[in-house]
A and B are shown apart, each in its own frame.
Chain A
């Protein structure tokens, strides 16, 4: 594991560390110091909790760590710990997230503010351990907030902020913080960490609103709820999603003051006057940011809209920021299996409906870790036509 060292040559920046995405998130977990972590190993997320388990044994955190026998149990134990009043976390990827599926809905339905780093990986079958977004896309309507990260720095920053977002009184919902498998999780970069006490002050102590064994305020969680009130409760569950954009922005600003970095619902790169806009999630933003200046130099007004928040979906912001473009290329790192479009494109089209005359093109790319190099990314700007275009596929 990498050591944190103080760097004096960069003014105002200390705690620079060479970290992989997994190491950066493990450091964030150490600084958050949750009460309980229950987890099960799965490539490429295994290291996050494995590294964390050494912090537990070295006494660097006060966390109870449970190595459970499956992800279904991991999410269940995390929900149980959270219901008992603990700040509880877990981490997973791919099939692990798929196996958690029914418990994901319990976590949101019980309003447990659980934060879970998810390392995006393809789903079986066939078996593949590399990056795409099929896993979290399959959980996109489970009542969780989804925050995507472009690099290890963002994975670190987003994990810390997610605690505050999830636990915010107006939210009280679980959040998954994602990063691209291997590309971010195993790629090493320089990460600017905050001091431990700064993070601990920022996340504060978890004060649950309701928890089990509070004899003055006894509760039943997840009771039977038929035609009488189920509908009302489901609507209540959707309401915090409306409050979430404001909360995410507010906490992003607060965290931004500590770090000098900016955190909104999306990041625009050469976006304001762009005629050709690429919309995407995750690490591919880095590739887009290298080719866009080249296109600009040739007089092509290209730009990028990198979504940070996927759930709730910032539809109005997207329409405002990109609606005036001539063409919008939506890059999906997951197949939609619906003959209409990838999950991101479907949402973007809905967001633009009635607000934009842009041609919206959908490219599905990078499934199972297939690399999207600068040439393909450049080619994506030239794509045209309806339907789903599979970019970089053979045959």
Chain B
């Protein structure tokens, strides 16, 4: 399997909880690297802090694990100094759309040639399950015991505001996720792949999902792949935008 050479199987099992979606995204990204025949000696991973941000540790690639929210500017620095490198970012919803959200907006304005893999589990997973910037309205979390009253961030709107690449997939729709990652990696300019993923332990269980399987089945029902490239994805739609 060509994906294997980008990974560090000796690091398995992963540190993530059983059923976490992060491993699926790692596998798909390694697969996309393999499909594109990407040069491992020319590819760098950058991440902030969070469960999603631990993903670079499972790749046999150079990486920088920085600070919560600051993956994007660190990656911009790397890309600026060494434009020939492929620079890929792993980030969580809190990391990218909360504490570091301004960086997302400005890197997309500059259209810096970076690929961002956003693992959106709609929760602060690493700190145990507090509401995040993408937690849906009304949802109960440890810090919104009566239901969340803050409207979720619209990642697509932020990224598309400056015409950057945006695709959305889920950890159930893996072939689509692979396709979106390949498209983002080959896109010249700022590209975000927004992956809806499951956090069964610190989020799903409290919502009444018994396990990761139930969450994946929920993604299957709740998200509809759109054919071809569209201008904008509606709520519940997944696919690649122009």
* Interface residues in chain A, defined as those with a beta carbon under 8 Å from any beta carbon in chain B: 40-43, 46, 49-50, 53-54, 57, 67, 69-70, 95, 99, 124-125, 127
**10 closest Cβ contacts across the A-B interface?**
A70-B99, A69-B98, A57-B145, A41-B127, A57-B146, A41-B130, A53-B143, A67-B143, A46-B127, A50-B142
Residues of A within 8 A of B138 (CB): none
Chain A residue nearest to B54 (CB atoms) is A127
Residues of B within 8 A of A42 (CB): 127
- Are B145 and A41 in contact (CB-based, < 8 A)? no
- Are B67 and A40 in contact (CB-based, < 8 A)? no
- Chain B nearest Cβ from A293, distance in angstroms: 40
- Are B145 and A54 in contact (CB-based, < 8 A)? yes
- Are B127 and A67 in contact (CB-based, < 8 A)? no
Number of A-B contacts (CB under 8 A): 44
Interface membership of B68, Cβ < 8 A: yes
Residues of B within 8 A of A46 (CB): 127-128, 130
Distance between Cα atoms of A334 and B209 in the complex (Å): 44
- Are A69 and B99 in contact (CB-based, < 8 A)? yes
Q: In the complex, which residues 109-165 of chain B have their Cβ closer than 8 Å to any Cβ of chain A?
A: 124, 126-128, 130-131, 133, 142-146, 150
- Are B144 and A95 in contact (CB-based, < 8 A)? no
- Are A69 and B146 in contact (CB-based, < 8 A)? no
Contacting residue for B142 out of A53, A69, A125, A127, CB 8 A? A53
Residues of B within 8 A of A124 (CB): 67
Residues of A within 8 A of B65 (CB): 127
Interface membership of B101, Cβ < 8 A: yes
Chain A residue nearest to B148 (CB atoms) is A67
- Are A70 and B98 in contact (CB-based, < 8 A)? yes
Residues of A within 8 A of B133 (CB): 69
Residues of A within 8 A of B98 (CB): 69-70
Contacting residue for B99 out of A40, A57, A67, A125, CB 8 A? A40
Residues of A within 8 A of B124 (CB): 41
- Are B143 and A95 in contact (CB-based, < 8 A)? no
Contacting residue for B68 out of A54, A57, A95, A125, CB 8 A? A95
- Centre residue among A70, A95, A125 by max chain B CB count within 10 A: A70
Q: Known contacts being A41-B124, A41-B130, is A50 close to B143, with CB within 8 Å? A: yes
Chain A residue nearest to B100 (CB atoms) is A70
Contacting residue for B145 out of A43, A53, A95, CB 8 A? A53
Chain B residue nearest to A68 (CB atoms) is B98
Secondary structure of the B contact surface, majority rule? loop
Distance between Cα atoms of A42 and B68 in the complex (Å): 10
- Are A67 and B144 in contact (CB-based, < 8 A)? yes
For the A-B complex with A54-B145, A57-B145, A67-B144 known, give 18 more contacts whose Cβ atoms are closer than 8 Å: A41-B130, A50-B130, A53-B142, A53-B143, A53-B144, A53-B145, A57-B146, A67-B131, A67-B143, A69-B98, A69-B101, A69-B133, A70-B69, A70-B99, A95-B49, A95-B68, A125-B66, A127-B49
- Chain B nearest Cβ from A44, distance in angstroms: 10
Distance between Cα atoms of A246 and B99 in the complex (Å): 40
Total count of chain B residues near the partner, CB < 8 A: 22
- Chain A nearest Cβ from B124, distance in angstroms: 6
Residues of A within 8 A of B146 (CB): 57
Residues of A within 8 A of B99 (CB): 40, 69-70, 99
Residues of A within 8 A of B142 (CB): 50, 53
- Are B101 and A67 in contact (CB-based, < 8 A)? no
Distance between Cα atoms of A40 and B126 in the complex (Å): 13
- Chain B nearest Cβ from A180, distance in angstroms: 19
Chain A residue nearest to B53 (CB atoms) is A127
Distance between Cα atoms of A95 and B50 in the complex (Å): 13
- Centre residue among A53, A54, A67, A99 by max chain B CB count within 10 A: A67
- Chain A nearest Cβ from B133, distance in angstroms: 6
- Chain A nearest Cβ from B222, distance in angstroms: 25
Residues of A within 8 A of B68 (CB): 95
Residues of B within 8 A of A67 (CB): 130-131, 143-144, 150
- Centre residue among B124, B131, B142 by max chain A CB count within 10 A: B142
Residues of A within 8 A of B145 (CB): 53-54, 57
- Chain B nearest Cβ from A370, distance in angstroms: 21
Distance between Cα atoms of A125 and B66 in the complex (Å): 8
- Chain B nearest Cβ from A360, distance in angstroms: 36
Contact digits for B99-110, partner A, Cβ 8 Å, 1 yes 0 no: 101000000000
- Chain B nearest Cβ from A280, distance in angstroms: 29
Distance between Cα atoms of A95 and B66 in the complex (Å): 11
Residues of A within 8 A of B126 (CB): 43
- Are B101 and A41 in contact (CB-based, < 8 A)? no
- Chain A nearest Cβ from B241, distance in angstroms: 25
Contacting residue for B127 out of A43, A53, A127, CB 8 A? A43
Residues of B within 8 A of A54 (CB): 145
Residues of A within 8 A of B49 (CB): 95, 127
- Chain A nearest Cβ from B65, distance in angstroms: 7
- Chain A nearest Cβ from B170, distance in angstroms: 24
Chain B residue nearest to A51 (CB atoms) is B142
Chain A residue nearest to B131 (CB atoms) is A67
Residues of A within 8 A of B66 (CB): 125
Distance between Cα atoms of A46 and B94 in the complex (Å): 15
Residues of B within 8 A of A127 (CB): 49, 65
Distance between Cα atoms of A99 and B100 in the complex (Å): 12
Residues of A within 8 A of B143 (CB): 41, 49-50, 53, 67
Residues of A within 8 A of B150 (CB): 67
Distance between Cα atoms of A124 and B67 in the complex (Å): 8
